[in-house]
Chain A
Amino acid sequence: MTVRDIVPAAAPMVAIDDLTIRFTGERKVHAVNGVSLTLGQGEVLGLLGESGSGKSVTLRALMRLLPKKRTVISGGVKVAGQDVLAMDDSTLADFRGRTVSMIFQEPALALDPVYTIGHQIAESVVRHEGKSQAEGRARALEMLDLVRIPSARRRLDAYPHEMSGGMRQRAMIALALACKPKVLLADEPTTALDATVQIQILLLLRELQREMGMSVIFVTHDIGVAIEICDKVAVMYAGQVVESGALADIVRRAVHPYPRGLLASTVHGAKRGARLETIPGTPPSLDHAPVACSFAPRCGFAQPRCTTALPPRIELAPGRVVRCILAEPHAAQVSA
């Protein structure tokens, strides 16, 4: 059987089905509550949300990076046709870095401080592709060139602390892409960077994604960053996807009051001195699994039924899903 037989062309590269993640221990945390998402080949999906919305936890589940003993996961996670939740440790070790790779916000923590950049990239190639050290080093040089690190040959022997923040971020991207993964998971990779460096890294990622035909899931809290890089967006709140769809639809025609409030509360283009629109209150605690709409206490459109039952999951168009009663009239229009 070839890979082609296992993954028909139309099958999504990533399929998350009703994913629920709970952290146990002193306090129970219902971090992710019934998330379903699909991502096709070569698509870039943005997971947009504020701190505690479950976006990073969802991302980590795709690589099973969550602490085993304290995490209870249910639902389905398939990447490139493989069931991630069913993998044993050795399958997982092959899968990570080869099929799926991740880049992080803080490259200084993600790179090993005691090995050179060249060594770390070569090691990944040797481990996953069975190549020789020399071939691994050649690939490392190729990768550093690809991510436009100046004088790449010299940088092969540099340690992470010898590089600037932007260079380290490029080196981490080179490491993540060294084995040409099908899916790249990016967890706020530009948040810690300066503005003039952030835009360079975003454009680099966009270009590499196109060249390599990768699927990318990009976690961010910054709508501006999502707009620069994503094709599709899923907005998360309290461990649920409240609205998802094509980028332009979410930015221009969001239906759920939370993304609408988020877009309205940006200071971009706001008049000086004019009051900013805000979302009152704070996100809910995640001590209990939601039994009603989590956003209802902060919502200006809440009705009695919002606080008594979970909101309906309404599909306005293929790939365009809203979890809110406000979408019902839209859905009626679509079906009429």
Chain B
Amino acid sequence: MTGLDPLADVGGGAQPLLDVKGLTKHFPIGGGLFAARKLVRAVDDVSFAVGKGETVGIVGESGCGKSTTARLLMHLMPRNAGDILFDGQLVGADFSLRELRRGMQMVFQDSYASLNPRLTIEDSIAFGPKVHGVADADARGLARDLLTKVGLRPEVFANRYPHEVSGGQRQRVNIARALALKPRLVILDEAVSALDKSVEAQVLNLLTDLKREFGLTYLFISHDLNVVRYISDRVLVMYLGQVVELGPVDAVYDGPVHPYTRALLAAMPAMDPDARTQVPPISGDPPNPIDPPSGCRFHTRCPFVEEICAKTVPPLAPVDAHGHGAACLMAVPGSGHSRAPAAGAAA
């Protein structure tokens, strides 16, 4: 393929491609002449790393901050605090925003809203490379190559407009456009959520193929726990702007530690007519992220809540030696919760 060269690897295989430290975003709302200003704590001190070639999933319900996290990583909005390191380079200092946009691309949920309706599919895909200095003819050639890669015949689709193709086909176009700058990391924000099930399976297979072919790293954001388990190596569970549990996907799904993760997994439909869910795992809606609960943010819905939970913010503590961690006082030795292991005991 012609076009841009992919960004060179800097730190070697052991260095995470993406390292996020203390990422925080607060939206101020209200605050008129007399009303006090309130804060939506959309993302609050979120830290995680994504290794090279990994797929990391982020799950959580609406308002948990998963999409805001993605937008902060892409620098689509300013953050209040936190450092983002791309292959060891501090974004904004060692690494310019222009370079970041080449290294990191994003696919959104709404396939139609994310394409310019007045550009043909070929023009949309060629747009990014042209901005980065690729000659027009080369950029068009690249666009056609990419269309083939995502399973759309260029002679049929290149000159069509976004409204002339189906939702699944449009999402393939968005994937092709994201790949046009030869990124190393692709953020997929609910990228298959709007698709019908049979089309979703096709696009998931495509994502698996492209990852292998281009050596990509994915950050896969979804509310669909089944899809996340299928595609991810590791998973982050978010609740009201914070990471409550993270770890290898099988460890988290087979042995969830945080009561929220347990409830979320138990809320999945049974898929077996003889084993229907009988009791809802938790009651009520997730609280508003405006002025979230004190201490552990889940304490208002937690079946194991104790007095200490409203006072102490639980740290994200390791539960095993393989990277599985949870932010629950019950998992912190000597935390004061009656179910916590005694202080000094091995986790």
The interface of chain A, by Cβ under 8 A from chain B, is: 50-51, 150, 164-167, 194-200, 202-203, 221-225, 227-228, 247-248, 251-252, 261-262, 265-270, 272-273, 275-280, 282
Task: Establish whether residues A228 and B270, one from each chain, have CB atoms under 8 Å apart when the complex forms.
Answer: yes
Which chain B residue shows the least CB distance to A50?
Answer: B196
Task: Decide if B316 is an interface residue (CB 8 Å cutoff).
Answer: no
Task: Decide if B229 is an interface residue (CB 8 Å cutoff).
Answer: yes
| Residues of chain A lying within 8 A (CB to CB) of residue B286 | 194, 196-197
Task: Decide if B267 is an interface residue (CB 8 Å cutoff).
Answer: yes
Which chain A residue shows the least CB distance to B286?
Answer: A194
Task: Decide if B2 is an interface residue (CB 8 Å cutoff).
Answer: no
| Residues of chain A lying within 8 A (CB to CB) of residue B263 | 196
| Residues of chain A lying within 8 A (CB to CB) of residue B284 | 150, 166
Can you name 25 A-B pairs with beta carbons within 8 Å?
Answer: A50-B196, A50-B198, A51-B167, A166-B284, A194-B61, A194-B62, A195-B223, A195-B264, A196-B280, A202-B269, A224-B268, A225-B269, A227-B273, A228-B269, A248-B274, A261-B198, A262-B198, A265-B198, A266-B271, A267-B200, A269-B271, A272-B229, A277-B201, A278-B201, A278-B205
Task: Establish whether residues B166 and A282, one from each chain, have CB atoms under 8 Å apart when the complex forms.
Answer: yes
Bound CA–CA A195/B224 (angstroms): 8
The interface of chain B, by Cβ under 8 A from chain A, is: 61-62, 166-169, 196-202, 204-205, 208, 223, 225-227, 229-233, 249, 263-264, 267-274, 276-286, 288
Which chain A residue shows the least CB distance to B287?
Answer: A164
| Residues of chain A lying within 8 A (CB to CB) of residue B264 | 195-196
Among A165, A270, A278, A280, the one with the most B-chain Cβ atoms within 10 Å of its Cβ is A278
Task: Establish whether residues B285 and A164, one from each chain, have CB atoms under 8 Å apart when the complex forms.
Answer: yes
| Residues of chain A lying within 8 A (CB to CB) of residue B279 | 203
User: Known contacts being A195-B268, A248-B273, is A262 close to B282, with CB within 8 Å?
Assistant: no
| Residues of chain B lying within 8 A (CB to CB) of residue A150 | 284
| Residues of chain B lying within 8 A (CB to CB) of residue A224 | 268-271
Which chain B residue shows the least CB distance to A268?
Answer: B226
Q: Could you say which of A199, A200, A261 contacts B269, with CB atoms under 8 Å apart?
A: A199
B8 shortest CB reach to chain A, Å: 28
Q: Could you say which of B197, B202, B249, B277 contacts A266, with CB atoms under 8 Å apart?
A: B197
For the residues of B in contact with A, the DSSP-based class is: loop
| Residues of chain A lying within 8 A (CB to CB) of residue B201 | 265-267, 276-279
Task: Establish whether residues B277 and A199, one from each chain, have CB atoms under 8 Å apart when the complex forms.
Answer: yes
Which chain A residue shows the least CB distance to B224?
Answer: A267
Bound CA–CA A266/B268 (angstroms): 14
Which chain A residue shows the least CB distance to B274?
Answer: A248
User: Known contacts being A195-B61, A266-B226, A282-B166, is A276 close to B205, with CB within 8 Å?
Assistant: yes
Task: Establish whether residues B197 and A199, one from each chain, have CB atoms under 8 Å apart when the complex forms.
Answer: no
Task: Establish whether residues B271 and A268, one from each chain, have CB atoms under 8 Å apart when the complex forms.
Answer: yes
Which chain B residue shows the least CB distance to A170?
Answer: B285
Bound CA–CA A4/B170 (angstroms): 54
User: Known contacts being A224-B270, A272-B230, is A203 close to B277, with CB within 8 Å?
Assistant: yes
| Residues of chain A lying within 8 A (CB to CB) of residue B204 | 267, 276
User: Known contacts being A267-B204, A275-B205, is A196 close to B271, with CB within 8 Å?
Assistant: no
| Residues of chain B lying within 8 A (CB to CB) of residue A228 | 269-270, 276-277
Task: Establish whether residues A251 and B273, one from each chain, have CB atoms under 8 Å apart when the complex forms.
Answer: yes
Bound CA–CA A195/B280 (angstroms): 11
Which chain B residue shows the least CB distance to A169?
Answer: B285
A44 shortest CB reach to chain B, Å: 12
| Residues of chain B lying within 8 A (CB to CB) of residue A280 | 202
Task: Establish whether residues B196 and A51, one from each chain, have CB atoms under 8 Å apart when the complex forms.
Answer: yes
Task: Establish whether residues A200 and B205, one from each chain, have CB atoms under 8 Å apart when the complex forms.
Answer: no
Bound CA–CA A91/B171 (angstroms): 46
Taking A166-B285, A227-B271 as given, write out 18 further A-B residue pairs in contact, using a Cβ cutoff of 8 Å, ordered by the A residue number. A195-B264, A196-B281, A198-B267, A199-B267, A199-B281, A203-B277, A203-B278, A224-B271, A248-B273, A251-B273, A266-B201, A266-B226, A267-B227, A272-B249, A276-B205, A278-B201, A282-B168, A282-B169
Among B226, B230, B231, B263, the one with the most A-chain Cβ atoms within 10 Å of its Cβ is B230
Which chain A residue shows the least CB distance to B60?
Answer: A194
| Residues of chain B lying within 8 A (CB to CB) of residue A203 | 277-280
Task: Establish whether residues B208 and A196, one from each chain, have CB atoms under 8 Å apart when the complex forms.
Answer: no
Bound CA–CA A223/B196 (angstroms): 12
